[in-house]
Amino acid sequence: MHFFKLILRNGLRHKLRTALTVLGLVVAFLSFGLLQSIVDAWYHGAEAAAPNRLITRNAVSLTVFLPLHYREKIRAVEGVKSVAAVNWFAGVYQEPRNFFPQFAIDPVPYFAMYPEYKLGEDEFRAFMRDRKGAIVGRKLAQNFGWKVGDVVPLKGTIFPGNWEFAVRGIYDGADAKTDTSLFFFHWTYLNETMKQRFPLRANQVGIFLVEVADVDRAAAVSGEVDKQFRNSLAETLTETEQAFQIGFVKQTEAIVIAIRLVSYVVIFIILAVMANTMAMTARERLGEYATLKALGFSPAYVAGLIFGESLVLAAFGCAIGIGLTFPAGDWFAGQMGTLFPVFEVSDQTVVLQMACALAVGVLAAILPAHRAARVGIVEGLRSIG
């Protein structure tokens, strides 16, 4: 009991130094938590992918379309449960900075493959009756203040022209990790309009979303689908939804790696600051440590005082930093809008913060504790004054 009291009193002996050290720790662990959460958000699409969903695209590039008649050939492959045509739309709402993902889809098979999108039956029926209808996510609707019945104008980029969609339903997520920042409308409406405006671009599909009946046969089904179109004018590449999402992440992998590195550089910097603080503390108290040794206390006891003070400071700073990470994360997610559709501080991030705090507390105290434990009584007493 006296040991812990002594640690606390030592920590509060220089209040300004302690306060500044703790403040630095708080900033470091808060920054580390936010940066790690950004990386997690970057990988969210891949982590949320279902193993029974495959993506079939053009083997040349995602920007090269596939003919519509591939849909029936894919559906005929053994092991395929359903197929949905999907086109990335990339329209502009009011101004370019209002970015959000927009997809033209086959609604019935598509929503059947995504049970995590919760939509009322009445809203879905209204959507199916309106060829210009749209389904939007709850987060997206809240971001722009949309409600059912509103008309959303989009300026086409990939598909030129002015487009208007009526919001017929707002879907919610099955849990907090479900992306509710998406915008869906009828693929048939897109195709019919393209037939009128640009006939040569009609009946073309960006990707086919494929559901397999048996997850264990996903690889075999992928191979069979691609085999159907081998040596054709538009060969295909079929992969799991997770692999497809990871492909996007790899395009910006350098940014992700840089963010990870910066998060650990922050911890290294605060480790250096903490080590300097503990070195100053131990140097000032060499006379006290020598006195303790003269009274019969062991070198391990003296080293324990330094380790204890360092760990207490690191734990205190980490606790405050973790506590601030959650509201800071909520604020950051609000500022980013739909750029990070799912942004949350995971349990893994909190564990990493605590592990880093433990490492900082131990490493910062090693050299000062070693010196204090080895200092001679006479040498230490000479340092008084």
Q: How far apart are CA 109 and CA 40, in angstroms?
A: 29
- Report CA-CA distances (Å) from 77 to 42, 130, 160, 172, 286: 33, 32, 35, 33, 79
Q: In this structure, what token pair is assigned to residue 163?
A: 């487009």
CA-based radius of gyration for the chain: 30
* pTM to 2 decimal places: 0.77
Q: For 170-214, what is each residue's pLDDT tens digit?
A: 999 888 788 899 999 999 999 999 999 998 889 999 999 999 999
Q: How far apart are CA 155 and CA 5, in angstroms?
A: 68
Q: In this structure, what token pair is assigned to residue 167?
A: 């919001």
Q: How far apart are CA 311 and CA 304, in angstroms?
A: 10
Q: How far apart are CA 58 and CA 62, in angstroms?
A: 6
Listed in sequence order, the residues at least 6 apart from 331 whose beta carbon sits closer than 8 Å to its beta carbon are none
* Alpha helix ranges (H) inside the chain: 2-11, 15-42, 44-47, 70-75, 107-113, 121-129, 138-144, 187-197, 218-228, 241-251, 253-284, 286-294, 299-336, 347-374, 377-382
pLDDT confidence of residue 57: 94
Q: Which residues of 295-316 are buried (b: 16+ CB within 10 A; e: fewer)?
A: eeeebeebbbbbbbbbbbbbbb
Q: Are strands 183-186 and 102-105 parallel, antiparallel or unpaired?
A: parallel
pLDDT, block means (10 residues), the chain with 385 residues: 69 79 92 89 72 92 92 93 94 89 95 93 94 94 93 93 95 87 95 92 94 91 92 91 79 80 90 86 73 75 81 91 91 73 83 93 87 69 56
Residue 228's φ and ψ, nearest 5 degrees, are -60, -30
Supply the DSSP string of 31-45, one letter for each residue. Answer: HHHHHHHHHHHHTHH
Residues 86, 110 contacting (CB under 8 angstroms): yes
- Report CA-CA distances (Å) from 146 to 3, 32, 224: 61, 35, 43
Q: For 281-313, what is each residue's pLDDT tens digit?
A: 877 776 777 777 777 778 787 778 888 888 888
